[in-house]
Amino acid sequence: MSEKTQNIPIAKPWLGEPEAEAAKRAIMSGWVTQGPEVAAFEREFAEYVGSQHACAVSNCTTALHLALLAVGVRPGDEVITVSHSYIATANSIRYCGAIPVFVDIEPQTYNINPMLIEDVIGDRLRCGMAERTRAILVVHQMGMPCNLKAILDIAQRYDLPVIEDAACAIGSEILWDGQWEKIGKPHGDIACFSFHPRKVITTGDGGMLTTNNLQWDKQFRLWRQHGMSVPDTVRHGAKQVIFESYPMLGYNYRMTDIQAAVGREQLKRLPEIVKRRRYLAQRYHEMLADVPGLKLPTEPSWAKSNWQSYCVRLPEWCEQRQVMQVMLDAGVSTRRGIMCVHRELAYTSEAWSCGVERKDCDYDVGGCDRLYESEQAQDRTSLLPLFHHITQQEQDYVVKVLKMTCQV
């Protein structure tokens, strides 16, 4: 397998002439930032997921930041979340001056383990620090919906808002009161999406917040444009001179009309994209089912993933980096398991470890014993190529190389 015969990327967006024409439309209109295309994208996105409101922003990290601010997260507060996520999840908490408190994951779904959330809250109560817990930030990891019903039951008992990091989950569904509903409806308080090129649909970069809370939606729209009291669209269409004001601290978190125009076309493709990805995931399931020691991703009966990524847990006798290198040498790109934030220098160098200030309490959530499954997921899993126009021949080749690599 040393001879490189293929060049199969881990992911590739599905973009074409419709997106190019849409971008041209926005460019030729002369209005290229947060204008009519953004407004239309917001309406269409809200309709797709079943949310009352949708607010477009520059990326999912800024969406998470605004969501946390809206539910009242302030400096010194704590937010329960996972370490097993891209670092943006925890970073958004720190942007508020708050502290992430990490909970371990379920090894089957790679999502937050609801059974451990109440343990963390209980430990905080015993430490006299529970009043600092302000919210729960869950992640639909790799597009797989987390167990929202169990999480919301806990959140309601402790009167905590729930924010969904749905960066990877556009098009995913959850069985809710007997009906299949889109992630982003939202089932918690606010859901946040990403349109990065690694996601199922893309605008190059960009994000979206969905909520049924009108006041929060209004707040997002103020914050995303420096707190400006009057939107550009209103000023430009006014028959009288309007002077805007800036009553609050805001941010430059706007989406461009060029991005939104592309996003509208991508949204039209979404049903076909999700259908295709589910088919490709099923092919992987079938072709890899007989590989000794290889554990395949699990989709709960109440969840429908968009299969943003296909993650396999390698056999015990396989070393992760070596497997990935052999596959890369054979022309197949892979990625290691999702990172663990508590292992990164930006977090280990802080005075507190994984959300707990040592001077305040002996409770330490940062050790391997508390985040064992998260660390195992990072160290023992690998993501396989999965994108809309991967061919069956390419997918067959990925499986062939992986099987040969994993032989005892």
H helices within 133-256, ranges in order?
148-157, 214-223, 232-237
343-346 long-range contacts (CB < 8 A, ≥24 apart) are 343/83, 343/375, 343/378, 344/87, 346/87
- The structure tokens listed for 335 are 């990625």
Domain boundaries, the chain: 17-405
- The structure tokens listed for 93 are 């908490």
Domain 17-405: give its CATH code.
3.40.640.10
Which residues are 102's β-sheet partners? 81
pLDDT score recorded for residue 367 = 46
pLDDT score recorded for residue 304 = 98
pLDDT score recorded for residue 366 = 41
Tens digit of pLDDT at every position of the chain (408 positions): 445 568 999 999 999 999 999 999 999 999 999 999 999 999 999 999 999 999 999 999 999 999 999 999 999 999 999 999 999 999 999 999 999 999 999 999 999 999 999 988 866 655 656 568 999 999 999 999 999 999 999 999 999 999 999 999 999 999 999 999 999 998 999 999 999 999 999 999 999 999 999 999 999 999 999 989 887 777 777 778 888 889 889 999 999 999 999 999 999 999 999 999 999 999 999 999 999 999 999 999 999 999 999 999 999 999 999 999 999 999 999 999 999 999 999 998 765 545 444 344 333 444 448 999 999 999 999 999 999 999 999 999 999 999 999 985
| Alpha carbon separation from 186 to 53, 273, 365 (Å, rounded) | 10, 22, 29
CA dist 302 and 145 (Å) reads 9
pLDDT score recorded for residue 363 = 35
pLDDT score recorded for residue 121 = 85
CA dist 263 and 34 (Å) reads 13
Cis ω for the linkage preceding 231 (within 30 of 0): no
Q: Is 70:267 a contact under the CB 8 Å cutoff?
A: no
CA dist 193 and 55 (Å) reads 10
pLDDT score recorded for residue 343 = 94
List of residues 6+ apart from 215 with CB closer than 8 A: none
